[in-house]
Structure 1
Amino acid sequence: MTATTSPARPQGTDVVELIAPDGAAAAISLHGGHLLSWKPAGAAEQLYLSPRSEFAPGKAIRGGVPVIFPQFSDRGTLPRHGFARTLPWELVSSEQGKGDALAVLRLRDSDATRAIWPHAFELELSVRIGGRELDIELACENTGETRFQFTTALHTYLRVADLDAVSVEGLSGLRYFDSVKQAEALQRMDLLLTGEKGVLDLDRIYFGVKERPLLLAEDRRQVVIRQLGFEDAVLWNPGPERCAKLADMPPEGWSEMLCVEAASIGRPIELQAGESWVGRQSLALL
């Protein structure tokens, strides 16, 4: 299995198609090292991908799983969410095993990245599928001679049929920063309801999630979300008003997605020369 040009992706985007022996499938764009699609064995699409994404050089893809590095949002001097999601990545390997399929992509520093972030690094993104599970692993190595810090996230857009029927469980007792209200608060209820019946225009960074599992439920559908190496988690939905202002998303797109992101934001990751860090997000459709 190698990178192919798919007619379904505008602008001739190079896409790696993964198919496991049991029929689980995924598609990964080399533009941004971006997971576009995940279909578990015997199940429908689990990720939201905006039909208005531009798929153009230098532009971020809206939906799927963008790689946020080395800066989350506008918490720094770099472009919003850094540069990894808008650069071309290299395909290292793509293979089918006895019970799964795996692709590995790589991004290294360049003249363009060093012009705005003067550090030598190597990112490696591994995507593994099989059965009803998806593992996304992001590794960063400091290949330079001086230390650096970064914040990062796997900005996972989960597809939903009815946002009003969606809840997220497992956040009770966590402190969070509400980016809409620009204030910190404590999550007192274990169940977070979204949509018109719960929270609209949702943009929260939950701190200290670490290895705590989260459960996204929608009617009979349940997705267990686990993370390792990431300290925090972000929950995001733009709501109708903000969504209407996003040129790369249809006005009703907010009602079809919910972002649950593995992230390290509150305490930046610091790597000395030669050191590495690894973070993983795992999703399982029950």
Structure 2
Amino acid sequence: MGHSAAVWDYRAATEITKDWNGIDQIVLRTPRGASARVSLHGAQVTSWRNEQGEELLFTSSKAIFKAPKAIRGGIPVCFPQFGNCGSLEQHGFARNRMWTIDDNPPPLHANDSSGKSFIDLLLKSSEEDIKCWPHSFEFRLRVALSTDGDLSLISRVRNINGKPFSFSFAHHTYLLVSDISEIRIEGLETLDYLDNLFQKERFTEQGDAITFESEVDRVYLGSPNIIAVLDHERKRTFVIRKEGLPDVAVWNPWEKKSKAMVDFGDEEYKQMLCVDGAVIEKPVSLKPGEEWTGRLQLSVVPSSFCSDRLGLDRSGL
């Protein structure tokens, strides 16, 4: 992969270049000017821009772009665990490994590639991984940008082990917002959630939408496949569509936690919100040879677009 200069494939609008640490990254572009960047470090989406060139994902100004530290921002891949338990590093090891470009991926559904600029990435279990998580797997991730600028991530995990294994998972999506106190999430009302600020105690959401005035660290269970994040000040709405990802993690560290994180600015909590498509409460179990697929699609629409109509507009993935 030693590219001294950028290599263009005009058919796929895909450019392979290097970041300032010399790590390969892939830039996806649409004819209208939307773009996304994906690093081989963690298969992490580090940027997603709309047709006006505006960044839609948050990355901390203090993020550390050097292994073994995960990048604070973008969309890290949390696998084979979400959270912190056992001997594994927090949120698993996938976000801290170097992935490879998968030149010959098994076929996906025709809808997953038609009219899209995309890249297929691959992570296989290494000897180092097997020491802390003794299972053989292949993790394939397709990152795609549709002609209208929607970003989709399709994850496939295959068990190539001699015995079953289970895992939890999340696309830890850092959305860039104007002001956290002006944000509301619709689609999670009335759901049960596990509250990480109260030893994962189970509560039921009482509000007609989720708003923010202090630290939030929750996992909403059995959520609908369409969630809306409304940014009142920017008059735009992030629409999150998902399949195979029943849970939604919602996180904002607020002031005190922000000051405690070395790779996060003291005031940056005001401009970010994590809303993750995830599998947390009931981990995925795979027998030998079985494969799991999870899909996440992110789009942005004007907030004048009524949230009641979300299910009617371009429904499904």
Smaller-chain TM-score bracket? over 0.9
Q: Do the aligned residues in 2 keep the contact of 1:127 with 1:136 (CA within 8 Å)? A: yes
- Gap runs ≥5 in structure 1: none
SS for the counterpart of 1:270 is strand
Per-residue deviation at 1:164? 1.2
2:142 aligned with 1:129, yes or no?
Answer: no
- The TM-score with structure 1 as length reference comes to 0.92
Whichever structure has more strand as a proportion of its residues is 1
Give SS of 2:95's match: helix
Match for 1:47 among 33, 42, 57?
A: 57
CA 1:25 to 1:80, structure 2 compared with 1: closer, same or farther past 3 Å? Answer: same
Distance 1:180 1:2 in 2: 42
Structure 2 regions of 5+ residues with no counterpart?
1-13, 105-112, 302-317
Deviation of 1:88 after TM superposition, in Å, equals 0.2
Residues 227 and 281, structure 1, Cα contact 8 Å, conserved in 2: yes
1:238 is aligned with what amino acid?
A: P
Matches within 5 A, 1:61-76: 61-76=71-86
User: Quick one: which of 214, 226, 230 aligns to 1:217?
Assistant: 230
Q: Which residue of 263, 270, 289 corresponds with 1:248?
A: 263
Q: Look up the SS of the partner of 1:266 in the other structure.
A: strand
1:1-286 aligned within 5 A: 1-7=14-20, 11-42=21-52, 44-93=54-103, 99-130=115-146, 131-182=148-199, 183-194=201-212, 198=213, 200-211=214-225, 213-219=226-232, 220-286=235-301
Percent sequence identity over aligned pairs: 35
**1:168-210, CA deviations, whole angstroms, 9 ceiling, x for partnerless residues?**
011112100110122221012231111xxx3x21100001115
Q: Find the aligned partners of 1:132 and 1:88 in 2 and give their Cα distance.
A: 26
Deviates more, 1:245-254 or 1:127-136: 127-136
RMSD: 1.6
- Helix, strand or coil at the partner of 2:134: coil
State the Cα distance separating 1:146 from its structure 2 match.
0.7
Corresponding letter in the other structure for 1:117: W
3-state SS of 1:37 partner: strand
Q: Which moved more, 1:107-116 or 1:97-106?
A: 97-106
In the TM superposition, structure 1's runs of 4+ consecutive aligned residues that sit over 6 Å from their partners are none
Amino acid at match of 2:210: L
Determine if contact 1:26/1:38 at 8 Å carries over to the other structure.
Answer: yes
1:143-182 Cα offsets, whole Å, 9 max, x none, are 1111000000000000011111111011112100110122
Distance, in Å, in 2 between the alignment partners of 1:77 and 1:98 is 41
- 8 Å CA contact 2:248–2:277 kept in 1: the answer is yes
Question: How many angstroms apart in 2 are the aligned matches of 1:98 and 1:34?
Answer: 23
Instruction: Tell me: CA distance 1:93–1:257, structure 2 relative to 1, closer, same or farther (3 Å).
Output: farther
Contact 2:15-2:28 at 8 Å conserved across structures: no
Distance 1:86 1:232 in 2: 23
SS at match of 1:79: coil
- The 2-side partners of 1:109 and 1:91 are apart by 15
C-alpha separation in 1, matches of 2:224 and 2:85? 21
Distance in 1 (CA, whole Å) between partners of 2:189 and 2:132 is: 39
Matched length: 276
Which secondary structure does the structure 1 equivalent of 2:135 belong to? coil
Structure 1 residues 176 and 57 mapped into 2: Cα distance closer, same or farther (>3 Å)? same
